[in-house]
Amino acid sequence: MSLKNKFCPKCGHEAKELNNGLCAKCYYQDNQIRVPKEIVLTICKKCNSILSKGKWIKTDSWKLYLTEELTKRIKLPKEVILDNIKVVETGEEGKVRLWLAINDEVFTESRRISIIVREKMCSTCNIKKSKQWNSKIQLRTDDKLIKKILKLLPKKYVIRIKPVTNGVDIYFSDKDKGKSFAKKVKSNYNLKSKSSFEQRGWDRLKNTSHKLPVILLKSD
């Protein structure tokens, strides 16, 4: 036995350092690591923002944020350092793995914790989405008739009216509202119509890009 070494009174093993009178292993066994039972996160998957105390905060990754939150909430005995933490599973029956250092020794354990991740669109993404058009009418006729038609627009669904050569482009937030308005105007004012579409983004469900109806209305 070297003079520097001490004995753990609990297990009798030699140890370079004692923690509160115990070797690292006995200290680890005797002192409970307190992990929260539940953690609830509200995230915006579109932009990786997190809802925290009523405010949306931008993050690089919500998973990283979750680990940071857990680190803050785990209560450790004085001599224990949280070396690493990994989220193994999310959900009601979630699981985290902890690496705990005492002196030079690292202990590892898994803990059950329910990790509830709720998805919600954040305010910024919501505004962005509401400004996106989903159908468009290209109205090409004389000014007098254009004025008349503009008065009939379902304003609630109109995002923008853009003057162009020979007429106006009318952008609708709703796909069907643009189409139905075009249909109505066409028959009421005896206009000719031609339908096409513009592509935007990607529709994962249909495995194709979003097709947005564009209706050209013009007088003969």
Q: Pick between residue 87 and residue 125 the one whose CB is nearest to Zn ion.
A: 125
Which residue carries 């308005």 as its tokens?
181
| Distance between CA atoms of residues 172 and 155, nearest Å | 9
| Least separation in angstroms between CB 94 and Zn ion | 24
Question: Binders of Zn ion among 22-81, rule CB under 5 A?
Answer: 23, 26, 44, 46-47, 49
Type and span of the H or E element at 24:
helix 24-30
Q: Pick between residue 21 and residue 91 the one whose CB is nearest to Zn ion.
A: 21
Question: Binders of Zn ion among 103-132, rule CB under 5 A?
Answer: 122, 125
Type and span of the H or E element at 11:
none
From the list 18-26, 133-141, 143-151, 194-202, the region that binds Zn ion by CB under 5 A is 18-26
Site size for Zn ion (CB under 5 A)? 11
| Distance between CA atoms of residues 111 and 114, nearest Å | 10
| Least separation in angstroms between CB 101 and Zn ion | 16
CA 39 to chain centre: 16
| Least separation in angstroms between CB 27 and Zn ion | 8
| Distance between CA atoms of residues 163 and 160, nearest Å | 10
Q: Pick between residue 74 and residue 122 the one whose CB is nearest to Zn ion.
A: 122
Q: Which residues, 6 or more positions from 84, have their beta carbon under 8 angstroms from its beta carbon?
A: 98, 99
Q: Which residues, 6 or more positions from 116, have their beta carbon under 8 angstroms from its beta carbon?
A: 38, 39, 40, 41, 90, 91, 92
Q: Pick between residue 8 and residue 41 the one whose CB is nearest to Zn ion.
A: 8
Q: Pick between residue 56 and residue 181 the one whose CB is nearest to Zn ion.
A: 56
Tokens at residue 178, please? Answer: 């643009």
| Least separation in angstroms between CB 81 and Zn ion | 19
Which of 11, 88, 116, 127 is close enough to bind Zn ion by CB under 5 A? 11
| Distance between CA atoms of residues 182 and 135, nearest Å | 10
Q: Pick between residue 20 and residue 187 the one whose CB is nearest to Zn ion.
A: 20
| Least separation in angstroms between CB 71 and Zn ion | 24
As beta bridge partners, residue 15 has: 6
Question: Binders of Zn ion among 191-210, rule CB under 5 A?
Answer: none
Q: Can you give the binding site for Zn ion, defined by CB under 5 A?
A: 8, 10-11, 23, 26, 44, 46-47, 49, 122, 125
